[in-house]
A and B are shown apart, each in its own frame.
Chain A
Amino acid sequence: MKIATSVLTAALLSATAAWAGDPGVSDTEIKIGDVNIMTGPAAFVGRGVSLGSKIAAGEINAAGGINGRKIKILTEDDGYIPSRSFQALTKLLEEDGIFALNGTSGTANVLAMMPLITENNLPTLVTTAPSALIYNPVRPSVFTFGASYSDAFYAQLKYIHDHSEPKNPVYGIIRQDDDFGQEVEAGYERAVKEFGVKDGIRLRFKKGTSNFAAEMAQMKQAGVNVLANGGIFAGAANILSEARKLDMDIQSADVWSEGIPASAKLAAPAGYDYLVGDYVALTGPAVERFLAMAKQFTTPDELAGVSRYTFVTYVGLKSLAHAMQECGKELTRACTIDKLRHTKDLDTGGLSAPVSFDNPQQLAGTEVAVYQLNAKELKFRELVGFKKY
């Protein structure tokens, strides 16, 4: 009975779509899924991320789509909760029938969705959570774009070490007590070992902490003057604000989450010109070009929400589209994955280093650029361009 039902369903499906190959592909459109943080305190991140897919889809569709097919983005909310990500992807796969996935929320969320992704051989672009847990071991249909937090922090600390190290350097790190924090510490460890500087203190804090008084008191006691700040958004701002209160003279290397305008606004009052390492551009002609292009596909309200999170998903969808374009009329998941694997030096208009997935880990965009905030003017300037670390 069950076999009969599935045969019947397949027959019905093929009756409605002339091209009944992989799900999500019809003669006129391709469905791309997006599982994102649309509710909850981190929603502004998810909104920025979804914007990237939307802008990329708008740009591609305006240019005629992919071999005549328009891209349709289907977004589901997971509120940053891994079990909901699993449910959201189940719905996207079973009910909406997506072809590929661009937009994957956080690390734990991707890992929660991984069994479904591997089972369905779903081409997936992971751009917001480039954690080693995702490409080690590498999954055949998963392509990761982004540098690790470890490289980002190493890049910033290297710049500080080479250009502006204080006389008696004491390095310190404060980071979250999860896999993201572990990666930050890995970059810190690498820097400290290589430079042979004093490792003052290593502190952990629980995700969601807002009161860093005890930790910063310990930092001050250890005499830290070069800080690897593993806090994000309000947390990072509070860390810097405590440091200012304790009158600490520090240079701070921060997570790329501090590169968005909202974070800069929060952290600037502390008065530190902190550094940020990122695998997409924060400022410069590439960003100007992007904003000018994006105006056509967004409302002014949405345009204000454009940030580095938008850029990463934009690059993700453009890479996916490029591979799908090369597959021509007969668009299948297997072909897309194959073309993605052969992607080499795909230009992203300067938003990032050229994208190349042709390596065993299917990892691209590992080049990091270093920026510095001018706290008074709330502007970033580039210190070092995209480089591999």
Chain B
Amino acid sequence: MRTGNYKESVGQIIALSDSKAAWAWTAVLIAALIVAPYLVGAYALTLMVSALIAVIGAVGLNILTGTTGLISLGQAGFLAVGAYTNAILLTDYHLPVWLSLPAAGVAGALVSIVVGIPSLRLKGLYLAITTLAFAFIINHIILYAERLTHGPNGVFVTGAKLFGFGLQRGPALYYLTLALAVAAIFAALNLLRTRIGRAWIAIRDHDIAARVMGIDLVRYKLLAFVVSSFIVAIAGALLSLQIRFVNIDVFALILSIEALAIIILGGLGSVAGAVLGAVFLSYLPEAIRLVLSTVIDPSSPLYTNYVYEIRGIANGLVIVLFLRFKPDGLIGFWRDARKYWSNWPLAY
């Protein structure tokens, strides 16, 4: 008599999920997302687009930091490279958007090789600060290479069209971002179950041991940088499509730190965590705004004078409390729920 859960082929072992229920719910989620533009207002739609762009960026960063263990504070720089490449190609060279988006990704990947090579010997926080240094330098170069990047004047992004649909308004932009987000998530999940993904995880866990076992550190670390930056640069390009005007002010350093916060709040190392973290942090300011306007009377002088600072403090407070009480991140809630569900009334 056969009992238990047997996996009889490699395909079954590395399948993303062996549960039909999981696939069914995923289908429902995607269906809901596809129908969403017809059910929500325009402002909520722009929020969703921002959240999806954050998801793409987070998935990219997760490959570098969560999977390979290379802490990077230079995401603002890669976002800027992607956004500017897309903007310049669309506006100055009039390339169609289905060329400029991948080109933005390739530009990000090339820049990341330049960033990755000096970083190969570095570990931990030294690596983080080096990537921070590169973000500063990239911003500086963008500002001073005036003939190419219009320097401080910024670049207007218009004219992104696909099959005659303007891609920068409402639902069209939403579907583009949704498609790319789903593609990025599946790409990341798939990479994780190949030999490349296993090599990355080995590097994260103990890179000397990985080297001893024959994994070429240089090749895989650079590959991590390249893949991660490709995805992040595409996120930057989508950002430029959404806000329609790029300028280095948009890519302040704070973005890098926010990106890292997304990964850690979501749960370091898992793609699902990155997605959850991105959605959570994207909606946090709105949630705080809602809570504050119900708790404090909007017409009181306390509100009008101090509400902006209070919102900022609330943002930081949520992050700190979260990390204090749930250092596993948002994905920890899910894992706890799963464990509780399958083990109750036993503890383990």
Residues of A whose CB lies within 8 Å of any CB of B are: 1-2, 5, 38-39, 43, 77, 80-83, 86-87, 90-91, 94-95, 108, 111-112, 114-115, 133, 177-179, 181-182, 206, 299
Contacts and interface: CB of A to CB of B under 8 A. Distances in A.
B63 to A, nearest CB: 24
B301 A299 contact: yes
B312 A39 contact: yes
A16 B153 CA distance: 43
Contacts of A2: 38
Contacts of B144: 177
B91 interface: no
A371 B230 CA distance: 53
B66 to A, nearest CB: 25
A5 B38 contact: yes
Interface in B158-212: 158, 168
B34 interface: no
B291 to A, nearest CB: 17
A370 to B, nearest CB: 27
A90 B245 contact: no
Interface stretch (B13-21, B102-110, B247-255): B247-255
A94 B43 contact: yes
Contacts of A111: 154, 156, 245, 247
B143 interface: yes
B57 to A, nearest CB: 13
A329 to B, nearest CB: 29
A34 B207 CA distance: 53
B143 A177 contact: yes
Interface in B291-345: 301, 308-309, 311-312
Given A39-B308, A115-B158, A299-B301, A87 B50 contact: yes
Given A82-B243, A108-B247, A112-B243, A95 B301 contact: no
A288 B252 CA distance: 41
B245 A114 contact: yes
A108 B245 CA distance: 9
Contacts of A81: 249-250, 252
A191 to B, nearest CB: 22
A99 to B, nearest CB: 17
A182 B247 contact: no
Contacts of A86: 242-245
B152 A82 contact: no
Contacts of B46: 87, 90, 94
B38 to A, nearest CB: 6
A178 B244 contact: no
A112 B249 CA distance: 11
A178 B152 contact: yes
A80 B243 CA distance: 15
B71 interface: no
Given A5-B38, A39-B312, A77-B308, A83 B152 contact: no
Contacts of B308: 38-39, 43, 77
Interface residue tally on B, bucketed by range:
20 to 34
Contacts of A1: 38
Contacts of B114: none
Given A5-B38, A86-B243, A111-B245, 13 more contacts: A39-B309, A82-B245, A82-B247, A83-B239, A87-B46, A87-B50, A91-B43, A94-B46, A112-B244, A112-B250, A177-B143, A179-B153, A206-B143
Contacts of B312: 39
Contacts of B32: none
A95 B43 CA distance: 7
B41 interface: yes
28 contacts: A2-B38, A5-B38, A43-B308, A81-B250, A81-B252, A83-B250, A86-B242, A87-B46, A91-B43, A94-B46, A95-B43, A108-B245, A108-B249, A111-B247, A112-B243, A112-B244, A112-B250, A115-B156, A115-B158, A115-B245, A133-B153, A177-B144, A177-B152, A178-B143, A182-B152, A206-B140, A206-B143, A299-B301
Most buried by A among B43, B239, B308: B308
A234 to B, nearest CB: 19
Nearest to B47: A87
B137 interface: no
B249 A82 contact: yes
B28 interface: no
B151 to A, nearest CB: 8
Contacts of B249: 80-82, 108
Most buried by A among B38, B249, B311: B249
Given A39-B309, A90-B43, A82 B158 contact: no
Contacts of A177: 143-144, 151-152
Nearest to A39: B308
Interface string B22-55: 0000000000000000100111001000100000
A82 B240 CA distance: 11
4 closest A-B pairs (Cβ-Cβ)? A178-B152, A94-B43, A39-B308, A112-B245
Contacts of A112: 243-245, 247, 250
A69 B227 CA distance: 57
Nearest to A38: B308
A205 to B, nearest CB: 12
Contacts of A43: 308
A94 B41 contact: yes
A1 B312 CA distance: 40
A181 B144 CA distance: 13
B212 to A, nearest CB: 46
Interface string B114-155: 000000000000000000000000001001100000011110
A108 B155 CA distance: 10
A86 B242 CA distance: 9
B38 A82 contact: no
Most buried by A among B154, B243, B244: B243
A177 B153 CA distance: 10
Contact of A108 (B50, B154, B158, B311): B154
A94 B42 contact: yes
Contacts of A39: 308-309, 311-312
A162 B103 CA distance: 56
Nearest to B240: A83
A115 B153 CA distance: 16
Interface string B83-105: 00000000000000000000000
Contacts of A95: 41, 43
B229 to A, nearest CB: 20
